[in-house]
Structure 1
């Protein structure tokens, strides 16, 4: 881990606590059967967890083909399949809490965890939907928890349109449900202001990427 990131580690004196869900979750219904749930500050005292994930997760860089050239993916990644132990017990607790809260709607537990490390304001993810696998044809859910520096998540109808902006700070939860992966797109844009490192944890059910 380079010195610039190490220098941005936060004070880690507060206990990490996974909060309640229930009525604290605010739902916004979108068009075409999609919806968004937001729970600000769901995981409190998350600085210590952020540091553990930053230093202990086996982050890797990837490259992807874009048109006629290969480019670096502008973030670091790590994926935990359903049989892989998660890198911290707090994430197990969070995954179990989400599975219990959404059991009636989802009908199955969250199984996998994808982690992204946005190192600074230059890292990003382009407009996309999680449509690899079942998300291409079925309603599903993707639950995102943010740690570290605040960043904005943008959401717009698939194919273009006015974007909605959701600010995501440390410990914030955002869940995309219904047809959201098929009928809407989301992105984390580059920031025009300096930004410290941020970690995004995405929980998904089986067969959704």
Structure 2
């Protein structure tokens, strides 16, 4: 069961200033910005998204068989109306802060619902489209129960762990999608549901 954070702010104010995000320089020209509790009212947003988003299950080919994707998904393409005004505010704040560095706005929003500790996403980079050849950014807003997001260099190396939930933000930039991988591992610990919202520029998946 999802438990709201005692620190969650439900006064309806917008995102915190992104100037306070902590940037970490990684190898190979990659970097991350992390800002815990970036979005006030995040737990209320989680409840709204849980019920208003048209979540869908997917099946994918894995080697010689078709398997269930271990999470529920939704995708909002460029021009689609986002499912909650708080996500419009979040995207506007990201666009305003990163416009000069990214050189373009964020265009799409992909949502994942991790229902419990059995839901996960394997090691990967967002390398479909321009992310395979160009520096870019992917901004991930997490609401709901915190889960571990892991980062490691492609080909293996020291793993970096972030516990993300309750309105936390991580932005992966530079060469991160090409030279690093990220994952949400399964866990045997009791884990409540979490929703991640991935804002991406045009042509990055």
**What TM-score range do you get, normalising by the shorter chain?**
over 0.9
Distance 2:46 2:122 in 1: 24
Name 2:168's counterpart in structure 1.
172
Deviation of residue 9 (structure 1)?
6.6
When normalised by structure 2's length, the TM-score is: 0.95
Cα deviations by residue, 1:155-184 (Å, 9 ceiling, x for unpaired)? 000111121101112100000000000000
C-alpha displacement of 1:18: 2.7
Provide the alpha-carbon RMSD of the alignment.
Answer: 1.5
- Alignment match, 1:69: 65
Structure 2: any 5+ residue segments left out of the alignment? none
Q: Verify the 8 A CA contact 2:113 2:195 in the aligned structure 1.
A: yes
Question: Partner residue of 2:192?
Answer: 196
Number of residue equivalences: 203
> Which of 14, 27, 30 is residue 10 of structure 2 equivalent to?
14
Cα distance between partner residues in 2 of 1:200 and 1:78: 10
**Superposed counterparts of 1:137-176, under 5 Å:** 137-176=133-172
Is 1:80 equivalent to 2:76 in the alignment? yes
The residue aligned with 1:94 is 90
Detail structure 1 runs of 4+ shifted over 2 Å in the superposition.
7-23
Give a deviation string over 1:18-68, Cα, whole Å, max 9, x none.
Answer: 333343110000000000000110012211111110001000000111110
Aligned-pair distance for 1:10? 4.3
1:117 paired with 2:109, answer: no
**Whole-angstrom distance in 2 between the partners of 1:9 and 1:166:** 19
Q: Please, which moves more after superposition, 154-163 or 13-22? A: 13-22
Q: Equivalents in 1 of 2:99, 2:185: separation in Å?
A: 32
Residue 39 in structure 1 maps to residue 30 in structure 2:
no
Q: Classify the secondary structure of the residue corresponding to 2:86.
A: helix
Task: Judge conservation of contact 1:76–1:118 (CA < 8 Å) in 2.
Answer: yes
Q: Mind listing any 5+ residue stretches in structure 1 that lack a counterpart?
A: 1-6
